[in-house]
């Protein structure tokens, strides 16, 4: 029987069961203490849990919870939800003045999200209501290493994560016990290591004794050897074909077992690599141990209902052994102020982070990203492995265009592969050839036509379309750009792979933007690459003679200067950095990449373009404003659903049923992001429907081509303008 004087925290409506506030706060305190203990702040977690819902003792809040749930009909007209979060925050300030900057903000924002400082101060100026009992302060300890200015906001955010995940989990256990039982019970790091070693042993037993396989074995042996040291920063610099994906996971699992770390988080910049990597790891470890978390994954495609629900729940807090995600998801969560984004953060502590293709980290955010990695390692016990064939500069002094732009990066990064191994020489399969002089579309198309099997990578969608239109109509010619929806891109890439498998003399010529440059496992005897940064050119060269079966092949670098110069911006900066190196280099050697990045950094005016330092590197943090500013991709485009394959069938379901998570995830595979000016042009022509607010569609089949995707310039649009 429920005590009529008990303070209510939750009411489960299907059976009108009550969870008392005392019980909820105690359970949240236990969980938050356990989470925060992983980085030496367990006492702070416990205090937050005990205080976070003290505001529910307000008479008006008790009336609200009983009225809105139908528990007490006397309060049926009470529909205004009183703010209860500020009460615990004010109490924390009074009871724990020395540590309140760390715990009061998370309590105040545990529903709404972390505040900007001035708003937080206003929120906590209020008095504690008379009916709320003031707790007695309990002793606490907080063990911290030397704290830097850039650590402070992450400490608050990590404690916030511990509180909101503990709060969410305990609420779920009471309100939805069947759902709560789907969480947890995962395979351990030692068990995963055994699974990987068994897989690798099977691969080796069936693999021929070739130079490439001997190198892959060497890389794996080095990873095992270098995994046994304590936490820190490591790099794995391996050329394309050296097997760095499985080797990096092998290092991570050995390192996790040695240092008692809890999970592996693999962050990747490109969706194509994520899908490929996740598929490989699921084959080894099973889907129940690998969480694929990115915008293009549709969990509805998973037929096993329980597994689908487990994965969906795991995206909330990353309580999974292996997570494969995007750089955007990882870093934007680390700078978010929102409850839903930050809930997972405490599970990044005591983990191994693998940053794949690390050279793609945006230089405009380089300073806050590097400082964040520094904090994760020193304060939260995370080890970080940087993997790429084009290792950037991450340690020492990063020198920009002027002293004000420069900053101190990581103290040291330990390379797993020794310099004397000379892997770039042993795995050399391609030479770069630079075509003299500026060319036009016709001249490059003519060069491409001389080759039976050739891939050409350009910088823009426009250049891809122009070159594609000029290719000979013979044989197989394919176009790849983001004017095509993701499903169309994937299908075309599969067509390329299938065509390359056939041992015939039929021409195969492909024009693509950079979307094919990394992570797409294709192998052409000849590659052309429009001028760009050295890292991009080497990525393109990685699509040439990938298996090394054709001796030394060529990747040609060309300029379209007769058509147009490279536009101002990052691509021009990177190309100028490459040109500034001069010509006397072994382009595939690590020393050339170091030289390139020094050249590139010297052209950067600010490694913190959004001034994140001014917003967060201080006790008076502007959490919300920083979250609004920290977006790795400035998305100035609009997403439009297009008419390709069976997309209209799904679109009709949307019209009939209204928007849902499942339908929108499916339709994301049939959507194209277009610039604002192109969107307005299509909209003015009456080509765009808006069935629901901010959901746009183009249903006319004439505007989406089977070979090149969405067409902004075509006869149909011109005729519409005439009408």
> CB 109: neighbour CB atoms within 10 A?
27
Q: For the segment 438-461, what is each residue's pLDDT rounded down to a tens digit?
A: 999 999 999 999 999 999 999 999
- Calculate mean pLDDT across residues 545-566: 91
Element at 340 (helix H, strand E): helix 339-342
- Calculate mean pLDDT across residues 302-317: 77
Residues in Cβ contact with 14 at an 8 Å cutoff, skipping those fewer than 6 apart: none
- What share of the chain in percent tops pLDDT 90? 77
Residue 714's pLDDT is: 56
pLDDT grade for 3, boundaries at 50, 70 and 90: low
Q: Enumerate the H helices of 183-304 as residue ranges.
A: 189-206, 211-225, 244-259, 271-285
- Calculate mean pLDDT across residues 133-155: 89
Asked if pLDDT for residue 342 goes beyond 60, the answer is: yes
Q: For the segment 559-575, what is each residue's pLDDT rounded down to a tens digit?
A: 999 999 998 888 999 99
Q: For the segment 117-127, what is each residue's pLDDT rounded down to a tens digit?
A: 999 999 999 99
pLDDT grade for 297, boundaries at 50, 70 and 90: low
Alpha-carbon gap, residue 522 to 367, rounded angstroms? 35
Which DSSP string corresponds to 66-119? HHHTTS-GGGTT-------HHHHHHHHHHH-TTTHHHHHHHHHTTTT-PPBHHH
> CB 59: neighbour CB atoms within 10 A?
12
The structure tokens listed for 163 are 């509180």
Asked if pLDDT for residue 463 goes beyond 80, the answer is: yes
Which DSSP string corresponds to 566-631? PPTTHHHHHHHHHHHT-S-S-TTSHHHHHHHHHHHHTT-S-S-TT-HHHHHSSSS-BHHHHHHH--
Strand 414-415 and strand 233-237: the pairing is parallel
Q: For the segment 284-295, what is each residue's pLDDT rounded down to a tens digit?
A: 999 899 999 876
Higher-pLDDT residue of 68 and 303 is 68
Alpha-carbon gap, residue 409 to 389, rounded angstroms? 21
CB 110 within 8 A of CB 167: yes
Residue 160's pLDDT is: 98
Phi, psi for 62 (deg, rounded to 5)? -65, -40
Residue 302's pLDDT is: 67
Strand 383-388 and strand 352-356: the pairing is parallel
Residue 615's pLDDT is: 98
pLDDT grade for 46, boundaries at 50, 70 and 90: very high
Alpha-carbon gap, residue 166 to 575, rounded angstroms? 49
The structure tokens listed for 156 are 């608050």
Torsion of CA 172, 178, 184, 187, to 10 degrees: -170
pLDDT grade for 722, boundaries at 50, 70 and 90: very low
Give the three-class secondary structure for 673: strand
pLDDT grade for 720, boundaries at 50, 70 and 90: very low
Using CB atoms within 10 A of its CB, is residue 26 exposed (0-12), middle (13-18) or buried (19+)? Answer: middle
The structure tokens listed for 704 are 């989406």
pLDDT grade for 515, boundaries at 50, 70 and 90: confident
Burial code (b: 16+ CB inside 10 Å, e: under 16) for 699-723 equals bbeebbbeebbbbbeeeebeeeeee
Give the three-class secondary structure for 503: coil
- Calculate mean pLDDT across residues 535-556: 89
Q: For the segment 386-427, what is each residue's pLDDT rounded down to a tens digit?
A: 999 889 999 999 999 999 999 999 999 999 999 899 989 888
pTM over 0.85: yes
Residues in Cβ contact with 596 at an 8 Å cutoff, skipping those fewer than 6 apart: 533, 534, 535, 577, 578, 581
pLDDT grade for 665, boundaries at 50, 70 and 90: confident
Closest CA to 117 of 125, 220, 252: 125
Residue 301's pLDDT is: 65
Q: For the segment 50-99, what is each residue's pLDDT rounded down to a tens digit?
A: 999 999 999 999 999 999 999 999 999 998 999 999 999 999 999 999 99
Torsion of CA 485, 487, 489, 493, to 10 degrees: 180
Domains in the chain with CATH codes = 8-180 (no CATH), 189-421 (3.40.50.300), 429-587 (3.40.50.300), 637-722 (no CATH)
- Calculate mean pLDDT across residues 611-633: 96
Residue 273's pLDDT is: 83
| Beta-bridge partner residues of 477 | 509
CB 150 within 8 A of CB 617: yes
Residue 719's pLDDT is: 40
Check residue 410 and report its DSSP letter: B
- Calculate mean pLDDT across residues 515-537: 90
pLDDT grade for 133, boundaries at 50, 70 and 90: very high
Element at 510 (helix H, strand E): strand 508-512
Residue 547's pLDDT is: 74
Give me the count of residues in the chain.
723
Higher-pLDDT residue of 203 and 270 is 203
Asked if pLDDT for residue 309 goes beyond 90, the answer is: no
Asked if pLDDT for residue 269 goes beyond 70, the answer is: yes
Residue 295's pLDDT is: 66
Strand 695-697 and strand 689-692: the pairing is antiparallel
């Amino acid at each position: 029987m429920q005590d009529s004087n008990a303070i209510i925290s939750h009411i489960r409506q299907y059976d009108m069961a009550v969870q008392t506030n005392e019980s909820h706060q105690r359970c949240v305190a236990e969980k938050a203490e356990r989470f925060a203990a992983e980085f030496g702040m367990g006492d702070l977690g416990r205090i937050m849990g005990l205080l976070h819902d003290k505001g529910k003792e307000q008479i008006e809040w008790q009336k609200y919870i009983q009225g809105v749930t139908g528990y007490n009909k006397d309060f049926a007209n009470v529909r205004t939800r009183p703010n209860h979060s500020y009460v615990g925050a004010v109490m924390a300030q009074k009871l724990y003045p020395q540590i309140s900057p760390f715990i009061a903000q998370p309590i105040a924002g545990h529903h709404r999200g972390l505040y900007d400082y001035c708003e937080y101060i206003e929120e906590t100026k209020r008095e504690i209501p008379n009916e709320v009992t003031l707790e007695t302060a309990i002793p606490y300890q907080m063990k911290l290493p030397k704290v830097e200015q850039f650590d402070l906001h992450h400490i608050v955010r990590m404690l916030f994560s511990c509180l909101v995940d503990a709060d969410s989990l305990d609420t779920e256990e009471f309100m939805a016990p069947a759902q709560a039982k789907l969480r947890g019970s995962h395979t351990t790091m030692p068990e995963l290591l055994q699974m990987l070693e068994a897989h690798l042993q099977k691969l080796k037993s069936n693999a021929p004794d070739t130079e490439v396989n001997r190198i892959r074995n060497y890389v794996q042996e080095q990873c095992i050897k270098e995994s046994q040291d304590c936490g820190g920063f490591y790099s794995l610099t391996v050329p394309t074909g050296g097997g760095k994906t499985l080797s990096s996971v092998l290092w991570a699992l050995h390192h996790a077992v040695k240092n008692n770390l809890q999970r592996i988080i693999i962050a990747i910049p490109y969706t194509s690599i994520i899908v490929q990597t996740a598929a490989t790891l699921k084959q080894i470890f099973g889907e129940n141990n690998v969480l694929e978390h990115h915008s293009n994954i549709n969990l509805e495609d998973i037929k096993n209902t329980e597994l689908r629900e487990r994965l969906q729940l795991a995206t909330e807090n990353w309580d999974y052994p292996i997570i494969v995600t995007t750089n955007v998801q990882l870093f934007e969560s680390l700078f978010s102020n929102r409850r839903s984004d930050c809930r997972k953060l405490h599970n990044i502590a005591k983990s191994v982070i693998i940053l794949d293709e690390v050279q793609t980290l945006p230089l405009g955010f380089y300073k806050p990203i590097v400082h964040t990695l520094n904090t994760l390692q020193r304060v939260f016990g995370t080890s970080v492995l940087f993997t790429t064939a084009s290792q950037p500069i991450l340690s020492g002094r990063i020198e920009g265009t002027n002293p004000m732009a420069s900053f101190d990066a990581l103290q040291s990064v330990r390379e797993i592969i020794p310099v004397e191994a000379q892997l770039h020489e042993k795995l050399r399969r391609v030479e770069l050839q630079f075509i003299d002089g500026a060319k036009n579309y016709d001249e490059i198309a003519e060069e491409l036509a001389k080759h039976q099997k050739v891939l050409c990578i350009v910088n823009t969608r426009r250049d891809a379309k122009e070159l594609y239109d000029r290719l000979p109509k013979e044989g197989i010619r394919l176009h790849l750009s983001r004017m095509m929806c993701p499903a169309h891109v994937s299908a075309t890439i599969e067509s390329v792979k299938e065509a390359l498998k056939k041992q015939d003399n039929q021409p195969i010529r492909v024009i693509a933007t950079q979307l094919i440059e990394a992570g797409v496992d294709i192998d052409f005897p000849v590659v052309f690459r429009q001028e760009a940064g050295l890292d991009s050119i080497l990525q393109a060269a990685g699509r040439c003679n990938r298996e090394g079966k054709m001796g030394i092949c060529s990747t040609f670098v060309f300029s379209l200067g007769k058509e147009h110069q490279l536009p101002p911006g990052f691509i021009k900066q990177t190309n100028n950095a490459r040109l500034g190196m001069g010509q006397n280099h072994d382009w595939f050697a690590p020393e050339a990449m170091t030289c390139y990045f020094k050249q590139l950094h010297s052209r950067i005016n600010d490694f913190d373009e959004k001034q994140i330092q001014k917003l967060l590197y201080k006790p008076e943090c502007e959490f919300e404003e920083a979250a609004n500013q920290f977006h790795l991709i400035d998305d100035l485009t609009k997403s439009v659903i297009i008419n390709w394959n069976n997309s209209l069938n799904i679109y009709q379901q949307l019209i009939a049923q209204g928007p849902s998570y499942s339908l929108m995830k499916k339709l994301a595979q049939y959507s194209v992001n277009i610039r604002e000016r192109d969107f307005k042009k299509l909209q003015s022509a009456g080509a765009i429907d808006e069935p629901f607010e901010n959901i746009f569609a183009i249903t006319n089949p004439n505007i989406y081509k089977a070979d090149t995707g969405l067409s902004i310039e075509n006869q149909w649009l011109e005729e519409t303008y005439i009408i």
